[in-house]
Amino acid sequence: MQPILSVRGVSKTYASGHRALEPVDLDIAKGEIFALLGPNGAGKTTLISIICGIVTPSTGTITVMGHDTIHDFRAARSVIGLVPQELSVDMFETVLATVRYSRRLFGKAGHDSYIEQVLRDLSLWDKRHAKIRELSGGMKRRVLIAKALSHEPDVLFLDEPTAGVDVALRRDMWKLVHRLRERGTTIILTTHYIEEAEEMADRVGVIDKGRIILIERKAELMKKLGKRQMLISLQEPMTAIPADLAEWHLTLENEGHIVRYIFDAQAEHTGIPSLLRKLAELGVGFKDLETSKSSLEDIFVDLVEHKEQAA
Ligand SMILES: Nc1ncnc2c1ncn2[C@@H]1O[C@H](COP(=O)(O)OP(=O)(O)OP(=O)(O)O)[C@@H](O)[C@H]1O
């Protein structure tokens, strides 16, 4: 099947000489939700900005629905909606006027019932006559999404849609993305949060230092990255991990007050019951146990280390 978006050999070196993106190849299928995951400065915004025609690539080509983003810029841009990271709205305009104006910028005739639907979907309808500067930060962000959807784009880019927003808005955002997909919109989003990729994406690309280090279906990735950690707060600090505990590969932290155990949550035997039994046998008392998912940082370290080992 013909991909809706095709990126070939796209790289970017900024005028400062900074190499922000190594050559990227990427195909996105129609109706797919693709999450680009990476730490600060990895190159996510650079890649999205290039695809949306805001930043010029140093090398490579991109087609969106068959339109070349440089030679056929207007046609390519008209099928794209972009929700930028930073606020870019006229603070003195009303919500409704701003969203209608965005649609007109794309040369599309007015379509009030569509605009109403978008505003209702984003819980903005009641605020349609409010001036944007009167809205809360979360509401302003919803306006950015409404603007990006105003011209009925086929492909929607969300650059860190939930950075700095509260839990309620984050959940609304996720619901909206699912609804849009049901209507056939292709969605590409960037995020720092593994949970967000987990919640929304069909496929995940991991980018680090301008390099895409992995592109995989979410289900596969989650299996690979399904590591968890358990932190055991000890009653008495230890100076070293006892030899009898060697098989769990524990690490000692916080000046010997905390023991960290990394385990595979997908495995049949996590090793936790036997570890706890062994601690009891050795008379090691603990005050608290806490388990959590590996952080994105752990995952990156893991991925990069594996890559280096494989090289
Ligand atoms: N206009 C520019 N000129 C020079 N360097 C830039 C420019 N824009 C971005 N960079 C640099 O390119 C690198 C990638 O930046 P980019 O904004 O694409 O990262 P990101 O993954 O989106 O990060 P974040 O999660 O913080 O938004 C960074 O080191 C950044 O400082």
152 pLDDT tier (thresholds 50, 70, 90) = very high
Is the pLDDT confidence value at 281 over 90? yes
My answer on whether 157 and 215 are in the same domain is yes
Are residues 213 and 261 both part of a single domain?
no
Domain identity same for 42 and 135:
yes
pLDDT, residue 163, reads 75
Interval 295-299 mean pLDDT: 56
- State residue 205 phi and psi, 5-degree precision: -110, 135
| DSSP classification of residue 107 | T
Residue found under tokens 């987990």: 198
Ligand 1 neighbourhood includes 44 CB (under 6 angstroms)? yes
For the chain, give the percent of residues with pLDDT over 90: 58
Angle at 175 between CA 6 and CA 53, to 5 degrees: 30
What's the sign of the alpha-carbon dihedral 40, 43, 47, 49? positive
153 and 28 housed in the same domain: yes
Residue whose CB lies within 8 A of the most ligand 1 atoms, among 10, 12, 16, 44, for a mutation test: 44
234's tokens: 């000890």
- Domain region containing 37: 5-223
Query: Each residue of 22-66: pLDDT tens digit?
Result: 999 999 999 999 999 888 888 999 999 999 998 999 999 999 999
Lowest mean pLDDT among 55-59, 276-280, 303-307: 303-307
Q: What is the mean pLDDT of the chain?
A: 88
Give the pLDDT score at 20.
95
- The reported pLDDT for the residue numbered 76 is 93
Amino acid at site 307:
K
| CATH at 25 | 3.40.50.300
| pLDDT (mean) for 170-186 | 86
Domain boundary among 223, 243, 273: 223
Query: Which residues are within 8 A (CB) of 98 and not within 5 positions of it... i.e. 6 or more apart?
Result: 89, 90, 132, 143, 147
Q: Among the three residues 206, 223, 240, which one is the final residue of a domain in this structure?
A: 223
Predicted pLDDT at 301: 61
Query: CA 62, 65, 69, 74: dihedral to nearest 10 degrees?
Result: 180
Q: Which residue, chain included where needed, has tokens 């495995």?
A: 267
Task: Give the DSSP H/E element, type plus range, for residue 308.
Answer: helix 296-310
CA–CA distance, 212 with 202 (Å, rounded to integer)? 17
177 shares its domain with 272? no
The CATH number of the domain where 243 resides is what? 3.30.70
Return the CA Rg of the chain. 24
Same domain, 22 and 136: yes
Sheet containing strand 155-159, edge to edge, reads: 80-83, 155-159, 186-191, 33-37, 203-208, 211-217
- Domain identity same for 204 and 181: yes
Final residue in a domain of this structure, among 172, 199, 223:
223
The verdict on residue 304 lying in a domain is no
pLDDT digits (tens, 9 = 90+) for 282-293: 999 999 998 876
Is residue 19 in a domain? Answer: yes
Query: Is the whole model's pTM more than 0.90, yes or no?
Result: no
Residue with tokens 């605009």: 115
> Mean pLDDT across the stretch 175-204?
87
Q: Tell me phi and psi for residue 16, to 5 degrees.
A: -65, -10
- Residues 90 and 298: their CA atoms lie apart, in Å, by 41
309 within a domain of the structure (yes/no): no
Q: What is the pLDDT of residues 219-236, one digit of tens each?
A: 777 666 667 889 999 999
Please tell me whether residues 33 and 161 are part of one structural domain: yes
Q: Is the CB of 50 under 6 A from ligand 1?
A: no
Tell me if 14 CB under 6 Å of ligand 1. Answer: yes
> How many folded domains does the chain comprise?
2
pLDDT of residue 296 exceeding 60, the answer is no
- Does 200 share its domain with 243? no
CB of 45 within 6 A of ligand 1: the answer is yes
Query: What is the predicted pLDDT for the residue at 55?
Result: 93
Ligand 1 binding pocket includes 49 (Cβ within 6 Å): no
